[in-house]
Every structure is written in C-alpha cells, then in structure tokens.
Amino acid sequence: MFEAVIFDWDGTLGDTRQAIVVAFQRALGEITVSVSDEYIERRIGIGAAETFRDILRSAKTPFDEKTIQHLVERKSQLEIELTDQVKLLPGAKRLLDELHGKIRMGLASMNNRCVISHLLKAKDLEKYFDVVLAAESISHSKPNPEIFLKAAVLLKSKPERCVVVEDSVFGVKAAKSANMSCIAVFTGVYSSSELEREKPDLIVRTLEDQRIPRFILH
C-alpha cells in the first residue's frame, strides 16, 4: 500500500482554468502584451514566473526578474479576486473524504502560495492536507521532480511509496522522474494520447472513477 498521495491543484482538484487565463491576460494587458488563451492553458502547471518568461520571450519583449516578479504578484492578486469562478472538479471532495485519515495527503502546486492558501480556505479544504507546497517552495518547476521529492520528505515517505494525481504532462513527467506512481486525469487541456505518452500508472477521465481510491489504498 502507498504511504502518501500527492495531489496537483490546478486542473486536478480545482477547475481553475478560466480564472488563471483571465488573470494572466489582465496582467499582460497592463504591459500591452498579447497572447492566445491556448498558449497560457498549455503552460498551466509550470508556474506563473516561467509562463511569463515564455510569453515575453515569444513576444520579443525585454524583461528582467523584477518585471517577472511584478507580473506574478499581479496575476496572483487577480486570480484571488476571481475565486468565485473556481469550482472543485467533479468527484474531488468525495475522493478527499474517502482518503482522509487513511493515508497521508499532500498538495504540490506550481501556483503561488497566496493563491493556494486562499483557495484552500475558501473551498474548505485545508483539513485534508498534511503538507502544502507551492511555487515558492522550490527552485525548479515541473517537469523537474523537485516539488514531489520535497513533498515526500515532508510526508515522511520514500518516493516509491508515494502516488501522484495529476492532469498535466509536466506533472506526470515530474512524478515519474521522482520514481513515484502516477494517476493521470483527463481534466486539464491535454489529450489522452499526450498523457499516455508519459506512461502514468492509471489514466482516468474524472476523479469520480472508483479505480482511484482502490489504486491508492490497495
């Protein structure tokens, strides 16, 4: 049996896509940079700072790290203002309830800590997680495995005794690089073939799939 389960947040437990895209677009609009919604959506999971760097490089807009930090802070503020647009994905609360008290649980998100802390409190989810890691907790974003390896240490579990629940190719790559099992969920922007290429241990359409708790608690 696994000792710990580590959840991603954006697109895995929380339906945050619209709020994230709107927050990015409004922040970029303030510096008159334009990018498609899809460009942003395909980078959810690598962190706001890295996404802004990608966007500004593509737009050939000069920047420094002070600019990136300002954009990240502005995007985080805007996303918090859009809390009402964020809903839990189908089956998320039920799954957390089913696992609570039976296995150690962590949250490892490349979103920023102020956003994650606010949303967990707003959605009454704080009680489920023994450990919460956000973008500020690590030096290297997904697909680097750092965030999951750090979560395992804090959860007092070896990587091979952890299972990750993810929706993005970046997250699945990170989990497998960490030598962890991984459940991939089709609730993000990635196709089944894109996720299958990363060889997760289980692929499900939604968190309502009863194979998930069976796999985690077997």
Domains parsed from the chain with CATH numbers: 4-16+86-217 (3.40.50.1000), 17-84 (1.10.150)
Assessment of whether the complete model's pTM goes beyond 0.85: yes
Please report, rounded to a whole number, the percentage of residues in the chain having pLDDT higher than 90. Answer: 97
- Over residues 145-168, the mean pLDDT reads 98
Task: Quote the pLDDT of residue 37.
Answer: 97
- Find the angle CA(149)-CA(170)-CA(218) to the nearest 5 degrees: 60
Contacts of 201 (CB under 8 A, 6+ apart): 163, 181, 182, 183, 215
The H or E element containing residue 69 is helix 65-81
97 exposed, middle or buried (CB, 10 Å; 0-12, 13-18, 19+)? Answer: exposed
Task: Quote the pLDDT of residue 1.
Answer: 80
The number of CA neighbours under 13 Å toward the Cβ of 76 is 21
Q: What is the mean pLDDT of the chain?
A: 97
Task: Quote the pLDDT of residue 92.
Answer: 98
Digit-coded pLDDT (tens) for 167-196: 999 999 999 999 999 999 999 899 989 999
Pairwise CA distance, residues 36 & 5, whole Å: 34
Task: Quote the pLDDT of residue 218.
Answer: 85
Say whether 158 sits in a helix, a strand or coil.
coil
Digit-coded pLDDT (tens) for 137-149: 999 999 999 999 9
Pairwise CA distance, residues 209 & 41, whole Å: 24
Task: Quote the pLDDT of residue 165.
Answer: 98
- Over residues 46-73, the mean pLDDT reads 96
Pairwise CA distance, residues 142 & 202, whole Å: 20
Task: Quote the pLDDT of residue 39.
Answer: 96
Digit-coded pLDDT (tens) for 67-125: 999 999 999 999 999 999 999 999 999 999 999 999 999 999 999 999 999 999 999 99
